[in-house]
Amino acid sequence: METKRIITLGRETGSGGHKIGEMLAAKLGVKCYDKELLDRAAKESGLCRELLESNDEKPTNSFLYSLVMDTYSLGYSSSPYVDMPINQKIFLAQFDTIRNLAQQESCVIVGRCADYALDGMPGVLSVFISAAEEDKITRVQSYQGGNISRDKAREIMLKTDKRRSSYYNYYSNKRWGDSKSYDLCINSSKFGLEGAVQLILDSLKREEEFRNGNR
């Protein structure tokens, strides 16, 4: 049986990680899953799509919050995640969806602790994309249509990265952005988006050669 090739992409806000994922997927002829994971997780788990969206990569350990948000969960009576706090339901729904995807097809998965969900699975390459702060701020401004100041863009960037870091650190046994947590870390400010894609492709090729005894 052919081993699936899965590339997981962790990313700093404004580093171009989503775009790199799309470009990489196009080069490999596979799908890139980012927000699309929410649709699949909602369908497979029976949880409300809007609930998944509003809590996407947002950790919480608040019992009161979980109790209140549970009332908005759809499909709760038939879901395998019954009797869990809502934040755990959402994480496990995405966790299961990521593992199902990896068993079904080669793909690129952006964010959502995918590297942790697939830890130890053959054919997985975990990557983290970072960038210089000024470049990230410029991209965040671009994402917002150029209608915000650099100070506001920096505020959004820091807030989003803090949320992603907290989510990753809360649910995994690793540290977000730490080189020890990933197979490959790339600074997109150093290599550009296309260069980052090529580095990942080269790493996939080299990993396969190494696995086949070409050391």
d(CA 59, CA 33): 20
Output the tens digit of pLDDT for each of the chain's 215 residues.
567 899 999 999 999 999 999 999 999 999 999 999 999 998 998 888 888 888 788 765 543 334 333 433 444 343 555 667 778 888 889 999 999 999 999 999 999 999 999 999 999 999 999 999 999 999 999 998 888 999 999 999 999 999 999 999 998 889 999 999 999 999 999 999 999 999 999 999 999 888 887 76
* Torsion angle in degrees (nearest 10) through CA of 60, 64, 65, 68: 150
Helix (H, G, I), strand (E, B) or coil at 29: coil
pTM for this structure? Answer: 0.86
- So where are the chain's domains? 6-211
Contact between 65 and 117 under an 8 Å Cβ cutoff? The reply is: no
Residues belonging to the chain? 215
**Of 97, 100, 102, nearest to 4 (Cα)?**
102
- Looking at the structure, give the CATH architecture of the domain made up of residues 6-211: 3-Layer(aba) Sandwich (3.40)
